[in-house]
């Protein structure tokens, strides 16, 4: 499951890079938000909305990145692909009753 989720995050990020004219290749170490990210806040919001839709459409997993918990964590789940994948795995586990 983790590989599928990571793949969706990477694909959504790659599409976001293309949409916003960033000539980087998305990979598991790619930064999403913060000083090391090539994305501005508009691009990050677009990515999060797209990723929520992809998770629901392709994996039947409903996630919301706009809840307070996502923004109140010590380390942002939006920092990079790995932290985003980790956060989605937590949400997935909660939705599965794990």
One digit per residue, the tens of pLDDT, for the chain of length 98 reads: 999 999 999 999 999 999 998 889 999 999 999 888 999 989 999 999 999 999 999 988 888 887 777 666 677 888 999 999 999 998 888 777 65
* DSSP letter string, the chain: -HHHHHHHHHHHHHHHHHHTT------TT-B-SSTT-S--HHHHHHHHHHHHHHHHHHH-----S-SHHHHHSSS-TTSBHHHHHHHHHHHHHHHTT-
Structural domains counted in the chain? 1
Q: Give the per-residue pLDDT at 97.
A: 60
Q: What is the CATH number of the domain that holds 39?
A: 1.10.1200
68, two tokens: 């307070």
Identify the domain containing residue 74 by its residue range.
2-95
Q: Give the per-residue pLDDT at 34.
A: 86
Q: Give the per-residue pLDDT at 72.
A: 66
């Amino acid at each position: 499951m983790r590989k599928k989720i990571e793949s969706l995050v990477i694909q959504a990020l790659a599409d976001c890079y293309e949409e916003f004219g960033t000539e980087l290749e998305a990979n598991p170490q790619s930064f999403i938000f913060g000083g090391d990210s090539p994305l501005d806040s508009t691009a990050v919001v677009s990515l999060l909305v797209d990723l929520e839709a992809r998770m629901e459409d392709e994996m039947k997993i409903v996630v919301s990145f706009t809840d307070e918990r996502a923004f109140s964590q010590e380390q942002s789940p939006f920092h990079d692909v790995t932290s985003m994948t980790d956060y989605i795995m937590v949400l997935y586990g909660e939705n599965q009753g794990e």
